[in-house]
Amino acid sequence: MTIPDAPVAETAAPEQSRSKPPRIGRLLTFLVPATAGMIAVYQGVQQILIPAQVEALDPANKIGNLALLTTFVAITSMIGIPLGGALSDRTRSRFGRRTPWIVGTAVASGLLMVAMGFTGNIFLLGALYTVLWLTANMYQGALTAVLPDRVPEERRGWAAALIGFGTPIGVLIGVNVAGQAGQVWGYTIIAIVLVATALAFVLGSREPSSIGLPLPEKSRSRGVSGGVGEFLSGFRSRDFTLAFVSRFALFLSYATVSGFLFFTLSDFIGADQLPEGNPGKAVATLLTYTVLGWVVVATALGWVADKINRRKLFVGIAAIGLAATMFVPILLPTWTGMVIYSVLLGIFIGTYFAVDLAVMSLVLPNKLQEGRDLGILNVAVGLPTILSGAIAGVIITFLGGYASLYVFGAICAVISGIVVLFIKKVR
């Protein structure tokens, strides 16, 4: 299906303004699959391939090993997203700012995944996984900067909803390939999907040359502390900071729970209650239900949020709904309960993703540093993942088990919904 065209705002760069820009419809027709390919990597690898590989290599220490690996890769993701955005901000080439980084990091990520499929050592697996999360998140940093680059503000809710639609597609691809294809082919097929969709995007919706685009001003501050302060200058904006905190809390809620879904099913629900007694296939099934709930609401709500100009309200509703959803597995710790939970999770996460990217793009304080600042806001996704592994491990082991994990997720979601209401720039 081709998305209807609408003009894309031209950048201020002389070289770009003379080039006929691609139209929104064509841009999104290729950007949605590229987003799906990226999400397929995250979901297929993190939800199924890595937990299964960790368990196969060292079943006695699977919880601790997974928590440790999750922490390492989340650190690199926290570095990779803003790094990819910042480096692409400063890239000047006839292929544009983002294209060289999108292609390079996609190919690097694909090669790393293929290597992981043949790895039989927990330490080598951890090293490859960590580097993969650096390159994959640099890819994300460059790719997500396309929205503020090439879509006008008044169309961002609709565009963000369609881009967000790539997430459930990616989840379906990633978890089903990982769940059905096994270790070697699971990694290989997902790698092919990532590279193919990245190349289709850069060739199908070519980015204008960035040669004439002015460079961001260099920091006048001296020393490491001055450079770090300039890199994090977006936090001088109150709305930017609130958006970061709200997003951080929401993803901390989601990451602490979803990162241990594989073990929730095997240890909390019980393998005897799962279809075929297979946690990997059960994860794929539940995430498919999540996607079905997601698809029902995402695009429509993005369009509604644009029409009534109340994007912040939808984020708040999604966060509170997510908090309520967290209590379903506690009250009904069965396979049926997990199915209900997964459908509701899809509805509220779908609502969140329908408008979240638009909200983030509207609080960016510096036009020439949008890739960097959007990357920093994306750290609010990676940083919770760093904390989630350790937090989940402590909660599961010492503070009441999996039920307490879901209570913690509910509390974080409520905090997210409250904080977003204080952003002034976005209604």
Question: CATH code at 34?
Answer: 1.20.1250.20
Kindly state whether residue 8 falls inside one of the protein's structural domains. Answer: no
Tally of structural domains, the chain: 1
Kindly state whether residue 14 falls inside one of the protein's structural domains. Answer: no
Kindly state whether residue 160 falls inside one of the protein's structural domains. Answer: yes
How much is the mean pLDDT over the chain? 82
Q: In this prediction, what percent of the chain has a pLDDT beyond 70?
A: 86
Kindly state whether residue 426 falls inside one of the protein's structural domains. Answer: no
CA dist 39 and 197 (Å) reads 12
Kindly state whether residue 312 falls inside one of the protein's structural domains. Answer: yes
Give 191-248 pLDDT, tens digit per residue. 999 999 999 999 998 888 888 777 766 655 555 455 566 667 678 788 889 999 999 9
Rg of the chain's alpha carbons, rounded to an integer?
Answer: 21
The CA-atom distances, in angstroms, between 359 and each of 318, 381, 382 are: 13, 15, 18
Contact yes or no for 194/41 (Cβ under 8 A): yes
Kindly state whether residue 3 falls inside one of the protein's structural domains. Answer: no
Give 160-184 pLDDT, tens digit per residue. 777 877 877 888 899 889 888 888 9
The domain in which residue 114 lies consists of 20-212+234-420
What's the token pair of residue 86? 């910042």
**Long-range contact list for 176-180, CB < 8 A, 24+ apart?**
176/284, 176/288, 177/40, 177/44, 178/43, 178/44, 178/45, 178/47, 178/48, 178/49, 178/280, 178/284, 179/48, 179/280, 179/281, 179/283, 179/284, 180/281, 180/284
Kindly state whether residue 7 falls inside one of the protein's structural domains. Answer: no
Report for 61-70, 117-126, 284-293, 371-380: range of highest mean pLDDT: 117-126
Report for 32-41, 89-98, 252-261, 366-375: range of highest mean pLDDT: 32-41
Tell me the one-letter amino acid at 419: V
CA dist 32 and 25 (Å) reads 11
What's the token pair of residue 300? 């429509």
Kindly state whether residue 60 falls inside one of the protein's structural domains. Answer: yes
The DSSP result for 99-115, as a single string, is HHHHHHHHHHHHHHHHH
Helices (H) and strands (E) in the chain, counts: 18, 0
Give 261-314 pLDDT, tens digit per residue. 888 888 888 887 888 777 878 887 888 888 788 777 766 766 676 677 677 888
Give 49-76 pLDDT, tens digit per residue. 998 899 888 888 887 888 788 778 878 8
Q: What is the pLDDT of residue 306?
A: 65
